[in-house]
Amino acid sequence: MTTRAIMKNIVFPLSALFIGLFSNITVMAKTVSVSSPDNKITISVNDDNQPNYQVMFNDEPVITPSALGMLFKNAHGFSDGFKITAVSKATVDSTWQLPWGERKNVVDNHNELLLTFTTDRDSANQYKVRFRAFNDGIGFRYEVPKQNGLTQVEITNELTEFSLANAKESTAWWIPARGWNRYEYVYNTTDVESVDRAHTPFTFKLPSGTHVSIHEAALIDYAAMTINQKRPGTLKADLTPWSDGSLVKTKTNFKSPWRTIQISKDAVGLLNSNLILNLNEPNKLGDVSWVEPGKYVGIWWGMHINATTWGSGEKHGATTSETMRYMDFAAEHGFDGVLVEGWNIGWDGEWFSNGDVFNFSKPYDDFDIAKVSQYGAKKGVRLIGHHETSGSVTNYRNQMSDAYALYQKHGVSQVKTGYVADGGNIKRIDENGIVKKEWHDGQFMVNEYLHSITEAAKHKISINTHEPIKATGLRRTYPNWIAREGARGQEFNAWGTPPNPPEHTAILPFTRLLAGPMDFTPGIFDMSFNGLGSESNRPQTTLAKQLALYVVLYSPIQMAADLPKNYQANMPAFQFIKDVPTDWHESIAIAGEVGDFVAFARQERDGDDWYVGSLTDENARKITLKLDFLEKGKNYQAQIYRDGDKAEWINNPYDLIIENKHVNFTDTITLPLATSGGAAIRFKALD
Ligand code: NOJ
Ligand code: CA
């Protein structure tokens, strides 16, 4: 897989600065630095008093001196008094491949600095911090070795800070952490000083125009990091606690997740970063040819708009005949999966936040799982499974292996899971049979979500997690973690208060999607189910913008979320959803400002066609895109789906123009985007 890899590992003893390594450390404070391969980003680490780091980009301070360290219960921590006692550097320049993804080849080019911090006390006296500087940002992680006085560990405080010089003059796009609605909030746009406790990715723009996003990579066996404004301009790591108040329970050796800071001179640069993936471990699952990107339809939207029900009875959505009808539709239009929710016992009555009612092996009487999967198999359409746990994770874990085995037996290769329960209200039963309530993003659930992934892998099943733990790039290590939700998706347009505002999908790419693919479920064609206007629950977009979402919001699985009859009523527009791939050879963000507009160009995997998706917030605008991403010397037919001249999202969302043009890489294209409008283009290669 690695086409070129240069690995240098130079250890600098720095002995001149040392009087002794493990005793009587009286070295003077010093600063050690590492820069990105292009020299634009520099991390400097200093051990004067509290170990700290700072980050410069193009000579501008992005992170001013900020604390490093962590504290433990009943053991010495890593804080002031530690000195840098060993320094080693390495350089990596390699290319690796994603089995599926927004691009095939990923370049990992970074300089590494591994620092050992030591103090002269006799127990717990050594910590390592590994820094990596890439051209698109930096990452660092703590590595805590086994040592005297440190075996079982409970972290009581991670001291990591992210300090900004100009918090008041910097703009942030953020959602609150530790809220009842998990990650499902409308984004706030405020100055950084007005942020309290926020989830990551936490994206902000400095007065200079530099864009920065703080997040984490490889969140394994640790609590999620949220960020908390401790003093004005100082954002501190705030780990989501267990129900007993502890933050992380582990044992030495352990490594923290990477703390990541993506940095770019403009907004678009953030979208083209591979930093999070590069900081994850390679695929651990071996052959993953059974993990298949694709497009699906499903028995889903009808429940959200109250046309059908998850529960049994007259309006039951998940019936054998309805599933077969969806399978016919899927087969006719080239979709490979049909999601069926509400097929198993448990949905009658109070299922929200009450997952003990669910049985994951018992279908309702009017759903014949064997019959529908055999029917689908004949048509080349798979049943897509669904497990709503409603946050009762012990109930789910007890049934998990049987539940995945049942699905595997019926040819199901993808399961959507759900953890609908208020934040802090995940129900588990501990070793003593006592009920405990946990957060979705505490260490317990971080492990629980990953457990479902590794168990599913044993059955060659891919998982699409709803109400998930945030993505931190683990899809590289576990490629069957095919997608997840983790932000307000389309469902909020059915019943959310308020529905997603027009700017929502112009913020998501620069925030949530920096973490990884999102199962947003685009493609609602009928926006009039409650009437048009700005007050009703509906997608607050034009029709063209619904099409644009397929290219803008990356996911290897995309749903055509609306009811088949609404697609049948508009086949010309539906053609774009039929054509658009979900697996890409390359993706390039070509224009955008956070919260205003965005445009992506993506080239299909194993093919020559390119696709463009572009969308805007509540403001209409014209954007002109250079087509220089197209292959030189090739001609393309641009099949353009754009807002009509009279389109506007409130009362005229359906005005859509479909037109064809011949173009090549020397051309530009101007797209008139209506209020909350968009454009979707297929560039079909002609020769
Ligand atoms: C919330 C999920 O996001 C949605 O897609 C699903 O239909 C419901 N939970 C029920 O499981
Ligand atoms: Ca949800």
- Distance (Å, whole) CA 682 – CA 687: 15
Instruction: Answer whether 611's CB lies under 8 Å from 551's CB.
Output: yes
**Ligand 1 atom showing the smallest separation from residue 489 Cα:** 3
Residue whose CA is at the smallest distance from ligand 1 atom 3: 466
How far is 143 from 256, CA to CA, in rounded Å? 7
Q: Is the CB of 420 under 6 A from ligand 1?
A: yes
CA 9 distance to own-chain centroid: 32
Give the three-class secondary structure for 376.
Answer: helix
Q: Can you give the three-state secondary structure of 539-586, one letter per residue?
A: CCCCHHHHHHHHHHCCCCEEECCCCHHHHHCCHHHHHHHHHCCCCEEE
Ligand 1 center to 550 CA (angstroms): 20
CA of 547 to the centre of ligand 1 (A): 22
If you take atom 7 of ligand 1, which residue's CA is the nearest one?
A: 300
Name the 3-class secondary structure at 81.
Answer: coil
State the CB neighbour count (10 A cutoff) for residue 431. 5
* Ligand 1 atom with minimal separation from the 386 CA: 11
Report the C-alpha gap between 490 and 497 in whole angstroms: 13
Q: Ligand 1: distance of its center to the CA of 418 in Å? A: 6
Residue 11: its pLDDT value, please?
A: 36
**Active-site annotation holds for 593:** no
Tokens of 471: 């993505």
Average pLDDT by stretches of 10, the chain with 687 residues: 36 36 48 98 95 97 98 95 96 98 98 97 95 98 97 98 97 98 98 98 98 99 98 98 98 98 98 98 98 98 98 98 98 98 95 92 98 98 98 98 98 98 97 97 98 98 98 99 98 98 99 98 98 97 99 98 98 98 98 98 98 99 98 98 98 98 98 99 96
Given a contact cutoff of 8 angstroms between Cβ atoms, the answer to whether 479 and 100 are in contact is yes
Which residues partner with 387 through β-bridges?
Answer: 417
Q: Does the beta carbon of 485 lie inside 6 Å of ligand 1?
A: yes
Decide: 355 in ligand 1 pocket, CB within 6 A.
no
Of the candidates 508, 516, 506, the one whose C-alpha atom is nearest the C-alpha of residue 614 is 506
Q: What are phi and psi for residue 591, nearest 5 degrees?
A: -160, 155
User: Could you give the 3-state DSSP secondary structure of residue 313?
Assistant: coil
Pairing of strands 52-57, 60-67: antiparallel
Are the CB atoms for 246 and 144 separated by under 8 Å? no
What is the token pair recorded at 323? Answer: 């599933």
pLDDT digits (tens, 9 = 90+) for 547-583: 999 999 999 999 999 999 999 999 999 999 999 999 9
Q: Which atom of ligand 1 is nearest to the CA of 300?
A: 7
Would you state the structure tokens that stand for residue 179, as one six-digit string? 């809220």
Helix (H, G, I), strand (E, B) or coil at 318: coil
Neighbours of 586 (CB within 10 A): 16
Q: What angle do CA 613, 615, 621 make, to 5 degrees?
A: 125
- Stretch (H or E) spanning 271: helix 267-271
Give me ligand 1 centre to Cα 296, in Å: 15
Q: Answer yes or no: are the C-beta atoms of 373 and 342 closer than 8 Å.
A: no
* Model confidence pLDDT, tens digit, residues 589-640: 999 999 999 999 999 999 999 999 999 999 999 999 999 999 999 999 999 9
Which SS3 state, helix, strand or coil, does residue 125 take?
coil
385 Cβ inside 6 Å of ligand 1:
no
**How crowded is the C-beta side of 159, counted as CA atoms within 13 Å?**
17
> Is the alpha carbon torsion for 72, 74, 76, 80 positive or negative?
positive
Query: 420, 490, 524, 555: which to mutate for ligand 1, most atoms within 8 A of CB?
Result: 420
Q: How far apart are CA 474 and CA 115, in angstroms?
A: 25
Question: pLDDT per residue over 138-176, tens digit each?
Answer: 999 999 999 999 999 999 999 999 999 999 999 999 999
